[in-house]
Structure 1
Amino acid sequence: MTTRKLITKTLVATAVCAATASAQAATIGNTDVSYGGYVKLDAMWSDFSAGTISGDSIGRDFYVPSTTPVGNDADSDAVFDMHARQSRFNFGTSTKLDNGKTVKTNIELDFIASIGGNERVTNSYSPRIRQAYITYDGWLFGQAWSNFQNVGALPETLDFVGPAEGTVFARQAQARYSVGNWAFSVENPESTITVNGARVETDDASMPDFTARYNFSADWGQVVVTGLARQLTYKQGGADEDETSFGVSVSGKVNLGKNNIKFMLTQGKGLGRYIGLNVAHGAVYDGSSLDAIDSTSGFIGYQHHWSEQFRSTFLYSFFEADNNTDLLAFSGNPTKSSVSYSANLLYSPVKKMTFGVEFKHAEREAENGADGDLDRLQFSAKYAF
């Protein structure tokens, strides 16, 4: 395989979500223009053991581990939600330049986790940028999936993320260079610090986040190894503290005929927002210094094709934090662990149309031993264009 083909393969695998549909294309001059996306309806019945979360919580739109309430069992009625906010649209161009090289652009929008809108009358939610980037001669510039994440390892689920507590998950501005099986990037820094039990988001790092990635592909599947190094900072209220954060993630896919196994295992210090949709913060500020939080997370999913039209994914996902119990006076009652199990049945009468049902059971435990769980039954209908 040539270097150019390997670069193309790396960019496609890391910058384009596996769920995005094949784009429609047209040619204008020397530029190929493409568009694609999908429309999706989600309907969810959710039962929380320790009290129902509010209707405007993001945890009602899709599974977010940190939003699962913990505490004494509460008599709470199950809640039903329905939305089409995951629907998305992408637009891209590919232009052949005079020097013989190609420059590509991609912009992708959806409506989930965006501001605005209500459920009283029109449900008019604002669009948000998912990705917006340029690729040229092995380089990527713009907002895309973090080089630390392997999007190709995400299992097929009805839930927006799926193995939420067990996966690296981040999109952000970056500059990335890919050569052969390797890719390196500098990415936008951001720290989430626990201060007096509350999360504080800081944006005063003096350097970007650094990542490195190695992709290995064979007929049997793929293995991806990624590394992250960054600076955690807290410079508020007279404090001027920083701490080093680092992590390693191994993920991939194993082909079993038409079926497959997808997996990820991540370990690090101060990973914070990169893991589990920020189920744990990067570090705790004890009044004089930062103490980075160690964590281990991962998932394994098995997809089985029952026939040409029916398939299922069985998924296990986990997160564990090694909180410093000597700092609980400063950290409050942080998440100690989170775990979820899910299974679905998907039916595609035609290639681009999918109907499905999925059941998810999730549990979260706080450092003081308080716990809570979620049972969710989800129905979805999706058409990709």
Structure 2
Amino acid sequence: MQQMQRQIERLEREQRQSAQQREVAAGVPADVVTGGDMPGSFKVPGSETSVQIGGYVKFDAIYDLDQDLGDTLFVDGLDASDDSGDPSFRSHARQSRLYIKTSTPTALGAATTHIEGDFFGGGGNEVFSNSRGFRLRHAYGELAGLLAGQTWSNFMHFSAYPTTVDFDGPVGVSFIRQAQVRYTLPVGPGELSLAAENPEGTGYAESRDTAPDVTARYKWQGAAAAVEAGALLRRLETDDAAASSDDAATGYGLMLAGNVDVADSTRLMAGVLYGDGIGRYIYTANGSEDGDSIGAAYIDPDGSLETIEAYGFNTAVVQEWTPAFTSSLSYGLVRGDRPEDIFPTSTRTLQSIHFSHFYQWSDPVTLGFEVSHAYKELQNRDDADNTRLQFSAQYSF
């Protein structure tokens, strides 16, 4: 009897093993979730599409010593007529963000998508709920070098963009997201990107967009250094009745940036932007219809649409003290050339300094502290400044 029982148990084991082998040979059942091709991703059941969900929750506490600049250090928001020096405090969680990325294998390579948003949209107040509107940051797809959708402009220099606790970061950089069609191809040791991007004329009334902004960028990335160069060409037009003679102008911009590791734990970076009619492609040079900011163009007394010459510069040093603790010191400058006799209260110069520190408390949690300073000068040489202290806690997932 015992021998028969052992034979029965052996046959049952062999049947179970055979069934398991048949299941493996037949593949994973269609309704089972498996690991995806991207880190931390999963595959949609019944497909080869990998999905990655991530983001972070970020708390910011801000203390302005001189002027209340709001939830970000928006340097052009300084009021040159206010020299009262009243301190203010605020806290928020608006930088918290969420993204969804996908990757699907095709005969041409991986087809990827990226959708992302944060809470710097409009609406909300601090009376009851402190609710804030969710806004779109990125929404694009990419396959075989062709990208279509909304993301960072092709005229941005990522190799010289330092990380700051402040959401805005330094002035003097190109910082813009917009809809575009972009194609990237390898050229020599680097890659060339060409794009047609959403246009938006700023700095004058009744702007009319008639053609996409065209951008080109070449990037080389080495083991301890990187270099980027870019160019921008744009058409500016207005329907304002004051533009009685020439209601159109051509704007352009040039960009050069790079970084280099001068030691195993020290990186230097710098970037420069210059253009005539470059406008909003230099951060904080967006401009307004009343002429109080730099902008891309203005309507002169003769009725002609005239482009505005402007340039931006930024530099930074990043020091990794330990694998968990990093500091950076960054400086930015923007200069615009609106005529002083027509726009005496227009922005002439903007400057910013950020002294930032980041401590990775645990794998998903980073604490930050920063001292920053903002300076604004008008065409009539009136000026204002503000010093800010900021603490942050970021919980990534």
TM-score when scaled to structure 1?
0.85
Taking the aligned partners of 2:334 and 2:239, their CA distance within structure 1 comes to 29
**Deviations 1:186-214 (CA, angstroms, capped at 9, x unpaired):** 000000124xxxxx462x22210000000
Taking the aligned partners of 1:359 and 1:23, their CA distance within structure 2 comes to 35
1:167 is matched with: 173
**Deviations 1:66-96 (CA, angstroms, capped at 9, x unpaired):** 101113622x420101000000011011112
Taking the aligned partners of 1:158 and 1:70, their CA distance within structure 2 comes to 25
2:362 is matched with: 350
The RMSD of aligned alpha carbons is 1.7
Matched, 1:367 2:373: no
Matched, 1:26 2:42: yes
Taking the aligned partners of 2:62 and 2:265, their CA distance within structure 1 comes to 29
Which 10-residue stretch deviates more, 343-352 or 370-379? Answer: 343-352
1:280 is matched with: 294
Q: Is the 8 A contact 2:297 2:305 kept in 1?
A: yes
Matched, 1:218 2:233: no
2:126 is matched with: 119
Alignment of 1:299-378 (within 5 A): 299-325=314-340, 328-329=341-342, 331-378=343-390
Q: Which amino acid aligns with 1:170?
A: I
Unaligned runs of 5+ in 2: 1-37, 287-292
Deviation for aligned residue 1:362: 1.3
Decide whether aligned partners of structure 1 residues 295 and 31 sit closer, same or farther in structure 2, where only a CA change above 3 A counts.
same
Deviation for aligned residue 1:382: 0.5
Q: Which amino acid aligns with 2:383?
A: D
Q: Which amino acid aligns with 2:79?
A: P
Which 10-residue stretch deviates more, 260-269 or 344-353? Answer: 344-353
Matched, 1:90 2:96: no
Q: Is the 8 A contact 1:134 1:140 kept in 2?
A: yes
Deviation for aligned residue 1:356: 1.4
Three-state SS of the structure 1 residue aligned to 2:76 is helix
Q: Is the 8 A contact 2:294 2:338 kept in 1?
A: no
Deviation for aligned residue 1:229: 0.6
2:254 is matched with: 248
Number of residue equivalences: 343
1:128 is matched with: 135
Which 10-residue stretch deviates more, 145-154 or 208-217? Answer: 145-154
Q: Is the 8 A contact 1:191 1:201 kept in 2?
A: no
2:27 is matched with: none
Q: Which amino acid aligns with 2:345?
A: N
1:267 is matched with: 274
Alignment of 1:90-109 (within 5 A): 90-97=99-106, 99-109=107-117
Taking the aligned partners of 2:206 and 2:112, their CA distance within structure 1 comes to 33
Three-state SS of the structure 1 residue aligned to 2:280 is helix
Give the number of the structure with larger relative contact order, counting CA–CA contacts within 8 Å between residues 6 or more apart: 1
Between structure 1 and structure 2, the one with the greater Rg is: 2
Taking the aligned partners of 1:376 and 1:166, their CA distance within structure 2 comes to 19
2:304 is matched with: 289
Taking the aligned partners of 1:23 and 1:44, their CA distance within structure 2 comes to 34
Three-state SS of the structure 2 residue aligned to 1:86 is coil
Q: Is the 8 A contact 1:92 1:104 kept in 2?
A: yes
1:41 is matched with: 59
